[in-house]
């Protein structure tokens, strides 16, 4: 089970390192992590990545980047390439988040370029998809599958292989007081998992969008983990979710 958080731009360097140290200390001793039940991850801002990697590696935490450029090198001022991220020990890259789409004009076409770049450089895309408006689960699942396939178009053409993390984040639930309804999450995530069941990419489906403690036990039969946000800014909340994952494993 893959469980982790994107820190977005909430924290500066000092608080990022403080948070990572606290979560790494929890992970280093938690039986869910040490027993292989949970694979934890953190996605900090670009400048903090090297120091976060140094802290996280001993705790079996993966480190991701919040974006990358679709070219491996060139005259792209202000951008960061997948090869450089890989040099720093990055193993995940968040791609296509709704905020990137809304604020910076990212489209399915640019997302597809970035997904292909990540995969060819051995970085697992954390591909964010989700319907814009709240509605029926069947319609949401269909919209997400269309978005998923558009985002994978170039990777499919290149016969790319590797790990893919699909982060189902309904746009209407991001930043909301509570996540989408349990039945809605389970229906859409199940449809995505079924769609990807025989894919040549090693795919997992995780849920994000106001996700926090208490949600995992209610949706665990339909997801491969959770993508956490502000509800785990307190490191203890991360530990609580690890407890939930361990309890679920024990109940099976």
What is the tens place of the pLDDT at every residue in 108-164? Answer: 999 999 999 999 999 999 999 999 999 999 999 999 999 999 999 999 999 999 999
| pLDDT higher than 80, residue 252 | no
As annotated, the active-site residues are 97, 169
Domain of residue 142 covers 2-251
Q: How many helices (H) and strands (E) does the chain have?
A: 11, 8
Note if the pTM is more than 0.85.
yes
Average pLDDT for the chain: 96
Structural domains counted in the chain: 1
Residue 11, burial from CB neighbour count under 10 angstroms (0-12, 13-18, 19+): middle
CATH label of the domain that carries residue 211: 3.20.20.70
Average pLDDT, stretch 94-99?
96
pLDDT tier for residue 178 given thresholds of 50, 70 and 90: confident
pLDDT of the residue at 138:
97
pLDDT at 250: 72
Q: Are 127 and 163 in contact (CB under 8 A)?
A: no
- pLDDT tier at 202 (50, 70, 90 boundaries)? very high
Q: How confident is the model at residue 175 (pLDDT cuts 50, 70, 90)?
A: confident
DSSP code of 173?
Answer: G
| CA angle, 20 then 42 then 160, to 5° | 155
The pLDDT of 203-212, averaged and rounded, is 95
């Amino acid at each position: 089970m893959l469980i982790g958080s994107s820190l977005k731009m909430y924290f500066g360097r000092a608080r990022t390192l403080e948070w990572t140290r606290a979560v790494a200390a929890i992970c280093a001793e938690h039986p869910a992590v040490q027993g292989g039940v949970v694979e934890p991850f953190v996605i900090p801002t670009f400048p903090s990545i090297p120091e976060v990697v140094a802290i996280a590696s001993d705790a079996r935490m993966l480190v991701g980047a919040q974006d990358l450029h679709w070219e491996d090198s060139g005259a792209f001022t202000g951008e960061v390439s997948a090869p450089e991220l890989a040099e720093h020990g990055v193993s995940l890259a968040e791609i296509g988040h709704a905020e990137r789409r809304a604020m910076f004009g990212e489209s399915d076409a640019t997302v597809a370029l970035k997904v292909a770049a990540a995969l060819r450089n051995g970085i697992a895309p954390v591909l964010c998809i989700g319907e814009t408006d709240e509605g029926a689960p069947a319609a949401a699942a269909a919209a997400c599958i269309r978005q998923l396939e558009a985002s994978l178009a170039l990777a499919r053409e290149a016969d790319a292989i590797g790990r893919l993390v699909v982060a189902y984040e309904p746009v209407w639930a991001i930043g909301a007081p509570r996540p989408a309804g349990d039945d809605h999450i389970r229906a859409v995530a199940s449809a995505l998992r079924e769609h990807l069941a025989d894919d040549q990419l090693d795919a997992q489906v995780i849920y994000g969008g106001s996700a926090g403690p208490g949600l995992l036990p209610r949706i665990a039969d339909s997801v491969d983990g959770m993508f956490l946000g502000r509800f785990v800014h307190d490191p203890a909340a991360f530990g609580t979710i690890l407890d939930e994952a361990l309890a679920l494993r024990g109940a099976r």
